[in-house]
Each structure stands twice: as C-alpha cells, then as structure tokens.
Structure 1
C-alpha cells in the first residue's frame, strides 16, 4: 500500500460556483459557501474514484527505502542494453501515484547516519509519460543506502495533475466536470447520511462518466 499525502491542493476547482448553481437552479447567495464546499468534496471524490489528480497539486510519497533491484551490489556499466538491463531498470523504479506527473520537486532520504540528504536531480531520470510515472537512477548509478531503522526514510515530493493547473491550462474533460456537477447535486439535495426515501443509481451516472479516465494502479 502506498503511503502518500496531499501537501498543496489545486489552485482552482474544475467547476465554478456559477456552473454549480446553474446545475442546482439556485439563484440566491445564502448557500454559496455550502455549494463551494460541495464542489471541493465532489472533486476530491472523483479523484479518488479516478486514482488521478485532476488539476496540478503537490504530494509527498513516503517510502521505507529505495527499490534496489535484483543486483543491488552491482553497478551496471551500461544500462542502455535493453536485453540485459530492462528488468533491472524496472525493478529499481520508484512509481508515483495520482497521475499524471508534472514534475519532481525533490527526493530526500536519511542516510546510514540518520542525516537527511537531497538527491541531485542529475542522479536520476524521470519518466513522466508513463502512468504511473517512474523514477530510476541515472546511467552507471544506483540508489543510495538509507537508514533501514527509520520508517519513511525516503520522501519524494512531486506535482501531479492530469489536465493542467486549471488557470492557464484547462484540459479537464467535460465528462469529469459533469460527474462533479452530479455529485454536487447529490450532496445539496441529500444532506443526511440516512434517508427513508427509495434511492437508485442514475443510468449513465457518475461512474459511467468517469470510467474512460480511470487509472488502474498496479505494482
């Protein structure tokens, strides 16, 4: 199970307050704060269902150690030989959750003396075209040794967002925005955890809208 947490949320939501109020057919401002909170909750729920960050946001992934691969004591002389080193390359990769990766901010670790160190970006390569994104040591290098006795001794800080920052770039599919609006409507008109009314799933509802964009994690 991956151990990661959100550090900085997105600067903007995929759905505006005006759009949500139009969906709800609300013309007064008394419930603006409630609706805004519902938009954020709906977006967060969609991201969990998608296993994907919608707009750019910062996460920290915590690991107990690096992935050292099959031959930890051997520094490969030439990892460009795909027949010989492709399996090693893959086994050493650090995989990042919540695609798509925008950038890696830093990789820090506790060395054998318990001192925090920051990896030089030149010592690793980032594959941000794959999902999940992968980070591997540069040619002729391997991951440094960490303090095994301290859980979470390796931390990767990264920015992820599949559809831009929402301000200068917004490529969020309309299907995802519509799913958020459906959830906002549900939250607004169903304000308790239990109801005596008979409820049913809307055909072609939230799950159907999100399915084309879901990321299925594998390890």
Structure 2
C-alpha cells in the first residue's frame, strides 16, 4: 500500500486576495480572512482534482516496501539481482513515481531495515529523473533497493518538494486556466455558505473542471509492481 500527504503547504496562493475581491466585487475588508480561507480551500480542491501541486510544497510519500522485480512481479533477494541486464524493460518496475507533479527535488529517502532501524539512503545510490512527469526514482546502475523490515506498513518514506508553477514568490508560472478555476470556486463558496440550498443549482458549462482539465495529470503508477 502507498499513501502521501502534504507536510509543508505552499507559502503563497495562485490567486491573491485583491484578485479574489475583484472577482467577488467586494470593496470592504470585513471578509478578508474569510476570503483568504476560501482561496486556500479552492486551491486544495483544484490540486486534488488536477492531481498537481501548483506552488512548491513538501510532500511525504509512504510505501510499505521498495518495489522489487521478477518476471512474475514477485520479490527476490537483492543480492541475486546485481547481474541482471540493466534494460528499461527489466528495471522500469523498480521505479518509484512521485505523486503531485511537478517534482522540484527529492530531500530524502528513509526506510526501516531488517533490524527495524531507520536508515537514510545515500543520494549517490539512486537517480532522480526530474524531466519526466511524474518524476521517477531508480537505483543507480548495478545497484538495487535495500531490503526493508518485513510486514511493517510505511517502511519507506520519500520526502520531496513539488510545485508545477514555481514557489509563488520569486517564480509564478501558474496558468490562467488554473487561476480562473480557483476564482470560480471562491465565488461559489462565498455565495453559498451552507451545505444545502432551496434553489435548484447546476454546474455551468465549461466550468471549474473543464478549466482544470487543461492541466490535469491523468496517468499514474506510483511504483512498479504495486
């Protein structure tokens, strides 16, 4: 099993308070805190739907074990794998693919060894491909992933920074479609503050999801063999 969570959120939002207030046609300051909260909620929704990290944030990916490969997708002792040909058809299943592209950097890979001791992999033992989407991590040639503690969930923790459009401060390359989708969501949440309505509402054509479909990441396998 695998899972991931954001441990350090972005320091900026794709939509500013002034932009949101202009969209809402609000010219007073009383609702500023409310609107800022709605901007954050809109961004979180848009990131989940598009499966992307917009601005740089820290994410931890949790795996129960490193991906290991055999012809029948089982596992074999890593010592027996050193002589295998280093062809992509054989070794692609060893890839760890990182959710919420685009990945900026990998900070660490920690795991529990057979003595249940937390170890941190030497960065020289693995390669991070930041040019692909999603980013991929593989062992360096002639190496394999280490053996982890058996039957212990979350034995592997990959900590990395992801942000498709910069940090939001020094760099902001956020597409206008994303900003427009967020503004639509902010407008909806601002006008409808209850979970139910007496009105019959329907989603507008070419609305939030249609805008986000232009940047949505829709092909993913976190780790080979999983």
Name the TM tier (shorter chain).
over 0.9
1:1-219 to 2 correspondences below 5 Å: 2-70=2-70, 72=78, 73-76=80-83, 79=86, 85-219=87-221
TM-score of the pair, normalised by structure 1: 0.94
The DSSP-based 3-state class of the residue aligned with 1:212 is: coil
2-structure distance, mates of 1:93, 1:86? 10
Q: Is this contact kept in 2: 1:51–1:216, CA < 8 A?
A: yes
Q: Is this contact kept in 1: 2:126–2:137, CA < 8 A?
A: yes
Give runs of ≥4 in structure 1 deviating > 4 Å: none
Q: CA RMSD in A?
A: 1.2
- CA deviation vs aligned residue, 1:8-49 (integer Å, no higher than 9, x gap): 000100000000000000011110010000000000000011
Deviation at residue 130 of structure 1 after TM alignment: 1.3
TM-score of the pair, normalised by structure 2: 0.92
1-structure distance, mates of 2:39, 2:2? 27
Aligned length: 214
Task: Quote the residue 1:82 is aligned against.
Answer: none
Deviation at residue 77 of structure 1 after TM alignment: 6.2
2-structure distance, mates of 1:197, 1:218? 39
Deviation at residue 208 of structure 1 after TM alignment: 1.1
Q: Is this contact kept in 2: 1:108–1:155, CA < 8 A?
A: yes
- CA deviation vs aligned residue, 1:109-153 (integer Å, no higher than 9, x gap): 000001110000000001111122110000110000110132101
